[in-house]
Chain A
Amino acid sequence: EAQVTQNPRYLITVTGKKLTVTCSQNMNHEYMSWYRQDPGLGLRQIYYSMNVEVTDKGDVPEGYKVSRKEKRNFPLILESPSPNQTSLYFCASSGWSGTYEQYFGPGTRLTVT
């Protein structure tokens, strides 16, 4: 089954404690992206990757890092989380042909206290 998986699905952590949210897709997609969703602000892009070793900032990259060492994985790293990073996070992927449909993961709900 074609899918994007994220782990963990729920996480409560404290300010300053480094964390990584993993994202993996099994569709051999080149493009992957991270979004965050906040009430009243909708979904906003954090970082994206056009392919392995190619990443770039989205609209709200501050406080986040990403890496793309393998085509299937695109982890989101919060080196020093702060309460304003409490949010619902989605990973997405798509290929370079067909509908350019983006497949989204199930989401990770992060709370930083």
Chain B
Amino acid sequence: DAKTTQPPSMDCAEGRAANLPCNHSTISGNEYVYWYRQIHSQGPQYIIHGLKNNETNEMASLIITEDRKSSTLILPHATLRDTAVYYCIVRGVGGAQKLVFGQGTRLTINP
């Protein structure tokens, strides 16, 4: 699975959009971009995933660049409960389905 690079920490004001970047320059054609988050020491929670098109669900939007070498997770109206570590993971679909977690981005939402 391709390696990802994320900033170690970010801050965002409550009510504003939080934009979390991720670089995955070695991604291959059949690999998806997944985002998970971990609030404090709870179990990681799936947020969204995509292959090459932009995706949106009730939690967030995922913007993937045309060359697929980077992506941005957008939380449109961040709340204090969005404070968490966010993990960008690149993996193929199927098979052993192992998730390789990096260090992630620690997002702090400030009141």
B82-104 vs A: 1/0 string, CB under 8 Å? 00000000000110111101111
A42 touches B43 (CB 8 A): no
**Which of A58, A90, A96 has a CB less than 8 Å from the CB of B98?**
A58
Which of A4, A104, A109 has the most chain B CB atoms closer than 10 A to its own CB?
A: A104
Which of B41, B46, B94, B97 has the most chain A CB atoms closer than 10 A to its own CB?
A: B97
Q: How far is the CA of A107 from the CA of B40 in the complex (A)?
A: 11
Chain A residues with CB under 8 A of B101: 42-44
Chain B residues with CB under 8 A of A43: 44, 99, 101
A104 touches B43 (CB 8 A): yes
Q: How large is the interface on A (under 10, 10 to 19, 20 to 34, 35 or more residues)?
A: 20 to 34
**Which of A56, A92, A107 has a CB less than 8 Å from the CB of B42?**
A107
A102 touches B42 (CB 8 A): no
Chain A residues with CB under 8 A of B94: 96, 100
**Which of B43, B45, B98, B103 has a CB less than 8 Å from the CB of A48?**
B98
B103 touches A94 (CB 8 A): no
Within 8 A of B (CB), among A8-36: 31, 33
- A112 interface residue per 8 A CB criterion: no
Identity of the chain B residue whose Cβ is nearest the Cβ of A91 in the assembled complex: B43
Give A105 Cβ to nearest chain B Cβ, in Å. Answer: 5
Which residues of A does B touch, CB under 8 Å? 4, 31, 33, 37, 42-45, 48, 50, 56, 58, 88, 90, 92, 94, 96, 99-107, 109
Top 5 A-B pairs ranked by shortest CB distance?
A: A104-B43, A43-B101, A101-B46, A42-B101, A104-B44
Which residues of B does A touch, CB under 8 Å? 41-46, 49, 93-94, 96-99, 101-104
Known A48-B97, A90-B44, A101-B46; 9 more pairs at CB < 8 Å: A33-B97, A42-B102, A42-B104, A90-B43, A92-B99, A102-B46, A102-B97, A103-B46, A104-B43
